[in-house]
Amino acid sequence: MNMIGNLNWKKIIFRWEMALIFILVMEIIIFGSINPRFLKLPVLLGSINDYISICIIALFGTIVMITGGIDISGGAIVGLTSMVLGLLWQDAGLNIWVAVILCLLTGVLCGALNGFLISYVGVQAMVVTLGGMFLYSGLAVVLSTLSVSSAYEGISGFPQAFIRIAGGKVFGFIPNPFIIFLILVVIAYVLLHKSRFGRYVFLVGVNPNAADFSGINHRFVSMFTYMLSGLSASVAGVVLTSYLGSCRADLGNELTMPIVTAVVLGGTAITGGRGSIIGTALAAIVIGLLRFGLQMSGVSTQYLDIPVGLLLIVAVAARGASLYMKRPSFAAKKQKAV
């Protein structure tokens, strides 16, 4: 009986990621039939520029959520790091690559502040990152007023080398952001599913007390996940700035909800302990293509909150039900013991 329960569980994970792939294929077929241009490879691959930030941040937001936390400050960090980058380059006159490194460091620091308050001081993750969201997006606005360029225009005129981060193409048809996304997926996958740290992330999420008794430094593990999340947001900030060719304080303003949606839709449990990078990566693309596809089919992007919202509720309710059905494993125990 236990064996069956076990196989069921494996099947559910399997099915979930399969389900995401299925949705993805359906999207491509449906949108392709509505607007054949959608099927052109450059168009399809190029669409990632529209939702690259969601993809990148959701990957590492997944790691945060597996420890049982949540990070809703990612979008704000995108705007902040974008402004830091622009100011350091234009107003402080630093080399663009030095500015990029400092900008990534800013993201790590923001994450470290979140993580410290959450794991060492013991404040709820939701509240800290809510405060962080106001703080970082607020700082971004303040920074934008310090620049010699007007806040509305933003800082632009970056060197070609920098613009090529997002604007360049590999083999002439794969946009760089797509490659960046793939690289980050591999990094996040290795980190979460292959490394010792990733193992600890899961263990801390499943049972922080037990982790403590096993001698795992659960506070540091949890803080580090927020630093990673902050870093990923700053990477998104750099990529987005490069793509748009200018830095703006409000770059990440509308990102919070889609990020959390992608993480949860990818199969991560909000209570922690469960989740996968592949799932999140697929979910982020599902959401991104849905938006892009409907846009190409002439539907306003704004309507898309409806299917995405529905998808979220149905997905979580369905997974809750599947966990409910898993309960018979207790009954199995009973029968075995008799």
Partner 1 sequence: MNRIVRAITQTRELFTVAFLIILFLGTGIVNPSFLAPDNILLCLNGSVIYILLAIGVSFVITTGDIDVSVGATLGLTAAVCATMIRDGSSLIMASITALTIGALIGLVNGLGVTKLRIPAIIMTLGVNGLVRGSIYVYTEGKWVENLPAVFKSYGQITLAGFVNLFLLITVLIVIGVYLYLNKGKKGKYFAAIGDNMGGATLIGIPVDKTRILAFVLCGVFAALAGIIFASKIGFVTPTAGNGYEMKAIAACVLGGVSLTGGVGSVIGAMFGAIIMSSISRILVFLQFSSNWDDTITGILLIIIVVADALIQKHFKEKARRERLAARDLKALRAFEEMGGDAE
Partner 2 sequence: MGSSNNDGNQIPAISIKGISKSFASNVVLREINLDVFEGDVVALIGGNGAGKSTLMKILMGIYQPDGGEISISGKRVNLSTPSAALANGIYLVPQEPMLFPNMTVEENIVLGFKEKRSELHVRLEALIENLGWDLKLDRKAESLSIAEQQLVEILRGLLRNSKILILDEPTSALTFNEIESLFRIITDLHSNGISIFYITHRLTEVFDIATRVVILRDGQITMEGSVSQFNQEMLIQGLLPTNYERAAKKEKVCKNIDGSAIMPLLEVKNFSGYGFTSINLKVYPGEILGLAGVVGAGRTEFAVTVFGKDVVKNGNVLLCGEDITGKKCSTIIEKGLIYVPEDRHLNGIYSISDVEANVTSGILGNFNKFFVDRKKANALTDDYIKDFRIKVTGRDQLTASLSGGNQQKVVLAKALATNPKVVILDEPTRGIDAGARGDVYRIINELREQGVAVVLISSDIEEVVELSDRVATMYQGRINHTFRGESITVDNLMSASFGVYKEEVPHE
Q: Given the complex with partner 1, which of 191 and 263 has the nearer CB atom?
A: 263
295 forms part of the interface with partner 1 (CB under 8 A): no
Virtual torsion, Cα 204, 62, 229, 235, nearest 10 deg: 150
The CA distance from 291 to 297, in Å, is 10
Q: In terms of Cα–Cα distance, which of 185, 163, 187 is closest to 175?
A: 163
Q: Which of 308, 259, 252 is nearest to 280 (CA)?
A: 259
**Which of partner 1, partner 2, none does 166 bind, CB closer than 5 to 8 A by kind?**
none
Dump the DSSP string for 87-111: IIIIIS---HHHHHHHHHHHHHHHH
Shortest distance (Å) from residue 272 CB to partner 1: 11
In the bound complex, what is the minimum distance in angstroms from residue 226's beta carbon to partner 1?
A: 14
Q: Which of 44, 85, 264, 289 binds partner 1 (CB under 8 A)?
A: 264
Stretch that binds partner 1, among 137-145, 174-182, 222-230, 235-243 (CB under 8 A): 137-145
Contact between 231 and 256 under an 8 Å Cβ cutoff? The reply is no
Tell me the residue type at 65: M
Shortest CA distance to 154 belongs to which of 89, 77, 88, 246? 246
Residue among 145, 214, 297, 301 that touches partner 2 (CB under 8 A) = 214
Candidate list 160, 209, 302, 335; residue touching partner 1; CB under 8 A: 302
Closer of 176 and 256 to partner 1 (Cβ): 256
- CA-based end-to-end distance of the chain: 13
Quick note: the x/- pattern for partner 1 over 140-169, rule CB under 8 A, is -xx-xx------------------------
- Assign residue 214 a region (left: φ > 0; alpha: ψ between -120 and 50; beta: otherwise): alpha
210 touching partner 2, by CB under 8 A: yes
Which residues make up the interface to partner 1 (CB under 8 A)?
70, 117, 121-124, 126-128, 130-139, 141-142, 144-145, 253-254, 257, 260-261, 264, 270-271, 300, 302-310, 312-313, 316-317, 320
Which residues make up the interface to partner 2 (CB under 8 A)?
2-3, 5-6, 9, 194-200, 202-203, 206-207, 209-217, 273-274, 329-330, 332-334, 336-338
